[in-house]
Structure 1
Amino acid sequence: MDWLIQLDGGALLWIQEFVRSDLLTPIVSFYTKLGDAGLMWIVLSLGMLFFKKTRKAGAAGILALILGALCTNVVLKHLVARPRPWLTVEGLFHLVVENDPNSFPSGHTCAAFAAASAWARALPKKWMGVTAVILAALMGLSRLYVGVHFPSDVLVGMAIGLICGWLAWKLLGRLLRLRENRGKRNVL
């Protein structure tokens, strides 16, 4: 595991040295804070519930966010208890305040990919799903840029988010079929 720790820390130091800039820092810091507590993804999912064409996407997004939060923030972060990168990588400076001392996996990235992958299956236009996945990827990258997650935290957060989005879509489909079948039985 030492090689992973070296690789993770080295990648963050490289980002700090060669990618961070005075122009990008306020933009990326603002964007990453939009993901606090899944806020951006929750608001967008709730907004989709108001429109018939996007209602399934919104419902799948909410369900995916709940599943993702349970996996990452309720279970894995406390089980693994990996400290934040700035606490272990010498010379790394974080750009935003994170009150949770646990780093693994990235809850922001999980929430982003959970919602985006659920939306991508349900939104009426392909470009909408592609945009959602791009926004999710940018959220994961923002967590590296601001120095609050290791690359492996982000990759595992992404994987969990993708699984939760898929699972939410499957569960929603099953719930809708059950509801539909109940309605047919009540008519007879």
Structure 2
Amino acid sequence: MEFEFFILDWIQTHLRHPILDPIIVFITTLGNAGILWIGLTILLAVRKSTRKTAAALAVALGLCLLWGNLLLKPLIGRIRPFNAQDAITLLIAAPLDYSFPSGHTMSSFAAAMVLLLTERRMGIPAMILAGLIAFSRMYLYVHYPTDVLAGLLMGCLFGWFAVRIVQKLHAHRFQRNQQEKPHR
């Protein structure tokens, strides 16, 4: 844990700056409650050509909610770094839940992975944004580096898994529809 505080304190000492502060706060806000990714899911669900992507996003975000926020956070119960260091002034409201894993990071990388695998033109900017959101959590002293790393790994795994689930369901449905067509 000392190494994690070393990284967080290094960010505070060498990277934190009054010009960057509002930018980082804005970036982290994009990940609040997964609202950006949920909104994107809804938008993609409107067009028939992107409905499979929307379904995969919904599955990935659901996995993040269930595994990360509802299961792992309370099970592990890791306190946040700002609770362990008294001298930190937060730039955002103090999160009330536990620290591990980073939900912002997990949902952002889950969505970005789905987009990277299904809509590549959107996937690359989404991965960059996910990385910025992940970094913002350490900059703001609300997550340890291992919280962010776990969120990144779990998010990518959930995103990949969600795409595979939707592909298999779609293939199964297509096959079933082909079998039900009358032969001429």
TM-score, normalization by structure 2: 0.93
Counterpart residue number, 2:96: 100
Q: Considering only aligned residues, what root-mean-square deviation do their CA atoms show, in Å?
A: 1.4
Q: CA deviation at 1:10?
A: 1.4
Counterpart residue number, 2:125: 131
Moved more, 174-183 or 51-60: 51-60
Equivalent-residue separation in structure 1 for 2:148 and 2:68 (angstroms): 11
Counterpart residue number, 2:3: 7
Structure 1 letter corresponding to 2:44: M
Runs of 4+ in structure 1 off by over 6 angstroms are none
Residue of 165, 181, 184 corresponding to 2:159: 165
Counterpart residue number, 1:25: 21
Matched, 1:177 2:171: yes
> What residue ranges of structure 1 are gaps of 5+ in the alignment?
none
Matched, 1:72 2:68: yes
Counterpart residue number, 1:89: 85
**How many residue pairs are counted as aligned between the two chains?**
182
Q: What SS does the aligned partner of 1:98 have?
A: coil
User: 2:105–2:134: 8 Å Cα contact kept in structure 1?
Assistant: yes
Structure 2 letter corresponding to 1:187: K
Structure 2 letter corresponding to 1:180: F
Equivalent-residue separation in structure 2 for 1:115 and 1:156 (angstroms): 15
Equivalent-residue separation in structure 2 for 1:99 and 1:8 (angstroms): 19
Residue of 146, 149, 169 corresponding to 2:143: 149
TM-score, normalization by structure 1: 0.91
> What residue ranges of structure 2 are gaps of 5+ in the alignment?
none
User: 1:13–1:92: 8 Å Cα contact kept in structure 2?
Assistant: no
Q: CA deviation at 1:90?
A: 4.4
Q: What SS does the aligned partner of 1:95 have?
A: coil
User: 1:16–1:92: 8 Å Cα contact kept in structure 2?
Assistant: no
